[in-house]
Amino acid sequence: MRVTPALHKRCAEGAPTAFANQGLKRPNPACYDRRMSERITEDVVREHLKRDPLVNAIRIEEQKTKVAKAKACLATASKSMSGKPGAPEFVVSFPGLPDEIIVIECKADAKYHESSKQGSPINYAVDGALHYSRFLSREYNVISIAVSGTAKGKIKVSSFLQKKGQNSVDKLDQCLLDVYSYIKIFKGEAQAKEIESFEITKIAIDLNEDLNGYSIAEYERCTIVSAVLLALQNSAFKSSYKEIATSKELEPTPERVAKSIITGIGNVLEDNDIDAGRVKAMLGEFEKIKNHDIAKSEKIKKKKASIEEPNYVLRDLTERLEKSILPLISLGDKGYDVLGRFYREFIRYAGTDQKTGLVLTPQHITEFFCDIVNLNVNDVVYDSCCGTGGFLIASMRRLIALSGNDAKKKKYIKQNQLIGIEKRTDMFTFSCSNMMMSGDGKSHIYRGDSFSPDNTSLVKALKPTVAFLNPPYDVGEDGQLAFIESALSCLQQGGRCAAVVQMSCATSSKAAAILVRERLLKSHKLTGVFSMPDDLFHPVGVITCVMIFEAHTPHPAGFKTFFGHFKDDGFRKTKNIGRVDKGQWSQTRIRWLDAYINRESKPGLSVMKAITATEEWCAEAYMETDYSAIKQTDFEKMIKEYVAFQVKYG
């Protein structure tokens, strides 16, 4: 039976039979006080873990574990060396990382943090943590953490890494880190980003389903979520929206919440010193929220529900975003990357239909574009159809990483080295919001037509050196190629342009497409074309390629362009999640870049070929078949498909 504070109080007041009546021995008051204080230390750790944005990616257990492998390791690991099972304060495991584990030991008093020889696991936090690490390291890579003290701001922390099967122990940061950082220590940043991205995707899907349940159209979901995320950047809104959501009569007042969201956005825009024209356009888009049922009706009914319920949809959505997304925003470069990824994931699932026309470039490809052009710290990046700002965010993150600790340069990058134009008012609003939530409210993002002379003059004056773009696909092959041509015209001599377009832009024999390809080769050098995975934009079915040009350098006659058959990036379609990296992208990226940079012809992967405007610009037209890569199962599948075709149509 648990020894409660009340029971302890009765004992202290002279009721020795209190414990005896419960079948317990009377505790030592000093030991009991230490145990009660130790719970305060445990609460610090517990709250730290539960508040973590990636808490759903870990399993937290106290005093014991049900994970079979860990349980076996601790079976004889008691700190008293009695041969009984060990009972650490916390065991943190990772369902997605079966060979990694964290063990945490706590002590109430910092003077019991660590002994001189680390040989007293019962009495000292560090000694106990390392004791359990030695047992767990038989099967795991272990991070052992010792935490002591109860006074706020005076908690002492020691952390260590012991790799599986090794006796040596490495000292880590002497503070409690977030789950992302611990995964990064175990598996590197790529794995940490993958797990983090997976969690963000799950949140995005859940939100999408919830909003769909209230019959909120896909294009409206984008506006609502971006509005709430932006309003949450305002401290006044963040601290008051729950109160605003309820009147004195405890009735829901969704209209007040909607108005408060708009007010909060206005304050955020003002704090970021956004120009009046941009403010007017953004607020005009967000004002649409007030016309939806979730902002007007006191009662609301979900799809297939039989009765209406009080309308707290906006309030609950705001609270959910505050709890699940805002913790992902941290100071420094990682924060805006996390928020940007969540935002793009949500729009990808909520907005990739005919109503919005959104076809967003996956993040690993926006980052790959930075590699393709070898982005350097002084580059000025331009996106002539920036959509939600995916390319600009990837570029900003790369440029800031390259700037190191130069705070002045980072500020300059945000204010002067990122340029975007977006014609659609809703997309312009999303891109501005996304960049602001990503830590940059002053980029040169303009609303309008990127082909207009005024806008091209404006862009040229900023002297861009790199262009990234994914033009709209509803303008046809010649229209997409014209977007590339226009972007190239704005670049400095020798600038680099990478664009992802429909494969038909590279293969079309239509006169209009050939005419634009002729103009492109007359003024710019085509250095490479990559055939991309067929399901790159899943769930939107579109076959694409990436074209890379060198600006204002006419394509030399006989120059051999690099054609890459980059059809397998290691991502696989996963039910209810979308395309997920199965651990191959990191190496695939290196292999693709190595082939392109070194301009190598590799069977099954790439080929060098001199081309003209009338020929096909794709690897499939010229590449030799790599017969060694063809498996028996591939042959059998093709035969079955052929037979099925003959039966149906023969």
> Hey, where are the domains in the chain?
40-187, 190-327
What is the tens place of the pLDDT at every residue in 177-203?
A: 999 899 999 998 878 877 877 787 788
Q: What share of the chain is helix, strand, coil (3-state, %, to 5)?
A: 50, 15, 35
Whether 214 and 302 have beta carbons less than 8 Å apart is answered as: yes
Task: Return the higher-pLDDT residue of 199 and 92.
Answer: 92
Whether 372 and 596 have beta carbons less than 8 Å apart is answered as: yes
Q: Is 629 exposed, middle or buried (0-12, 13-18, 19+ CB in 10 A)?
A: exposed
pLDDT at 25 over 70: no
For the chain, what is the mean pLDDT?
Answer: 85
pLDDT at 33 over 60: no
Q: In this predicted structure, which of 61-75, 329-343, 427-441 has the lowest mean pLDDT?
A: 329-343
Name the pTM for this structure. 0.78
Cα(469)–Cα(598) distance, rounded to whole angstroms? 24
First to last CA, the chain: 79
What is the tens place of the pLDDT at every residue in 449-458?
A: 999 999 999 9
* 383 three-class SS: strand
Task: Return the higher-pLDDT residue of 290 and 578.
Answer: 290
Q: How does DSSP classify residue 232?
A: T
**DSSP assignment of 288-348:** GGGGSHHHH-SEE--TT-SS-EE--HHHHHHHHHHHHTGGG--SSHHHHHHHHHHHHHHHH
Q: In this predicted structure, which of 332-336, 518-522, 595-599 has the lowest mean pLDDT?
A: 332-336
Q: According to the per-residue pLDDT averaged within each range, which of 32-36, 350-354, 549-553 is highest?
A: 549-553
- Local confidence band at 10 (pLDDT 50, 70, 90 cut-offs): very low
Tokens of 405: 């600790």
pLDDT at 333 over 70: no
Percent of the chain with pLDDT over 90: 56
Cα(549)–Cα(439) distance, rounded to whole angstroms? 30
Whether 264 and 234 have beta carbons less than 8 Å apart is answered as: yes
Q: Which residues pair with 421 in a beta bridge?
A: 446
What is the tens place of the pLDDT at every residue in 120-155?
A: 999 999 999 999 999 999 999 999 999 999 876 689
Cα(2)–Cα(511) distance, rounded to whole angstroms? 84
- Local confidence band at 21 (pLDDT 50, 70, 90 cut-offs): very low
Cα(565)–Cα(584) distance, rounded to whole angstroms? 16
Cα(201)–Cα(280) distance, rounded to whole angstroms? 32
Phi, psi of 170 (to 5 degrees): -105, 140
Whether 399 and 252 have beta carbons less than 8 Å apart is answered as: no
Phi, psi of 11 (to 5 degrees): -65, -45
Task: Return the higher-pLDDT residue of 324 and 470.
Answer: 470
Given this model, what pLDDT does residue 223 score? 86
